[in-house]
Every structure is written in C-alpha cells, then in structure tokens.
Amino acid sequence: MRFKCTFKTEKISIAYHMMFVSMIKEALKEEDEEYLNKLYFFGDKYNKKSKNFTFSVYLRDYKINGYEIKINDSVDLNISSPDVEFMMKLYNGILKKKSFSYKKIYNMDKMRISMQPEKHISKGKVCFKTLSPIFLKDKNGKSVSTESDEYSREFNYIQNKILENYRGYGLRENLEFIPVLMEKKVVKEEISKFKKISGKDVYCVESYSGIFKLCGDVKDLNDIYMLGVGFRRSQGFGMIEVV
C-alpha cells in the first residue's frame, strides 16, 4: 500500500526527518496507542527491530534559510508498506488529526490524504529511482559508497534482514545492484543521543540518490519495492519507485 498526505506549513527544520517520524508516531497514537507502543517499544526499552515501512518527503517551492526551510507552497509525505494493518492505522490516525506540531515550533496543517497507485513487478530486472536517499553502512557503521566493491555485499545483507523481519524468510536469491545514475547526498538529521554525546545540533548522513537497476527474484523485488532499501527506512530513507 502507498498513500500521500499533503500539509500546509510556513517552515520546517532543515533536519526534518525526525519531525516526520514524530508525526507518524502521533498519528498512530491517535488511532491505537497500544499498537504504537508495541511497534516502538519493548518493555521499557526502545524497540530496535526494523519497521516494515519507508517514507519520503517532497517540498514544493521552498527556500533554505540557515537551519530552517521556508515553505512557500506545501509539503508531501509519501509512505509505503506491504503491512496493511500498519498502513490502515496510520491512515486513520492522520484522518483524525487536523494538524501536527513538532517541538512547539513547527506546525503542519493537513490539506488532503490519498491512496497512491502501486506498480506490479513481473520481471527479474527492474529500474528504480529513489524517492528518498539510500543509506548503506558496513559492520563498523561507516557509510558505503555505491562505487565501492563492498556495496553489493552490504546491500544484500540488509535486504535479507528486512525481508526476514517482514515475512519470516530472507532473500530467495542474491540481488545484483547496478548503479545507473547515482550521486552522493548528505542528509542532516537531528538526533538527541548524538547531540548529548557530541554537542552538535545535527548529524550528517552520507547517502545516495538517483537511478539504479536491481536484478533478482520477482517476489523479492515486489516486496523490496514496498518495504524500501537500506538502513533507516522508517526515518525517511530508501523509498523507491519503478521507473
């Protein structure tokens, strides 16, 4: 399932990813607080298990002004997941809310929400474009470049884990990642734990955007299309669309 929600707002933080994570949590809480707690917490600890969704943010007519982005038009939030229960709870939660607030500074008024068409993959080779940048890291937590020899190995590793978490088993066959037109993109994130340790307001994530080909099992490709790729999908990374 996929849907898009359009908001009206005057400004957002340049590190807006966690703002939209907060919005998603607020909508889930509005619909089913017990479900929200189950998804994000394990007892009294944060649930680190990967989430079965991804999202992207599209800004219409904007201007960057220091640590903020002035929005002259509107903001689109696109969400994708094969998990019907999650999507329906989130959709209903957003419907119930007229506006969302973040840190008592940023406010977004809901304009409209609509389901989006999905494409069915029938071949084992597909060309994708990123709707939000892909973040891939190695076992040491270091970002991996699409030009690196280890990119394919790390890509297969994380996609196997993502699929295993969602459907109970991983990849049916190894994936071949072929970059077509990819470029580096540094994304700024505002993470409270990082701020406490470093004293810095934002954390820079080296990621990659553009067009790539993916070869593999058709069932795997369809599930990957809906779940997204790479790390931090539930924080606004790795949403893709069939070209």
pLDDT at 189: 77
Whether the predicted pLDDT of 202 surpasses 90: no
pTM: 0.91
Q: Looking up tokens 């969704």, which residue turns up?
A: 53
pLDDT in tens, 33-55: 999 999 998 776 777 788 999 99
199 vs 75 pLDDT, higher one: 75
Distance (Å, whole) CA 189 – CA 202: 5
Model confidence band, residue 196 (pLDDT cutoffs 50, 70, 90) = low
- Asked if residues 229 and 241 have their Cβ atoms less than 8 Å apart, the reply is no
Distance (Å, whole) CA 215 – CA 211: 14
- The three-class DSSP label of residue 99 is strand
Strands annotated E in 116-200: 125-130, 176-189
Distance (Å, whole) CA 110 – CA 224: 29
pLDDT at 143: 93
* CA–CA–CA angle 236, 240, 243 (5° rounding): 155
User: Which percentage of the chain shows pLDDT scores above 90?
Assistant: 83
pLDDT at 192: 57
Q: Looking up tokens 């999905």, which residue turns up?
A: 118
- Average pLDDT for residues 74-84, to the nearest whole number? 98
What is the average pLDDT value for the chain, to the nearest integer?
93
Which of 32-36, 200-204, 233-237 is least confident?
200-204
pLDDT at 191: 62
What domains can be seen in the chain, in order of their start residue?
Answer: 2-115 (3.30.70.1890), 125-242 (3.30.70.1900)
pLDDT in tens, 138-169: 999 899 999 998 999 999 999 999 999 999 99
Whether the predicted pLDDT of 199 surpasses 70: no
pLDDT at 48: 79
Model confidence band, residue 188 (pLDDT cutoffs 50, 70, 90) = confident
pLDDT at 224: 98
Specify which residues 115 forms β-bridges with. 3
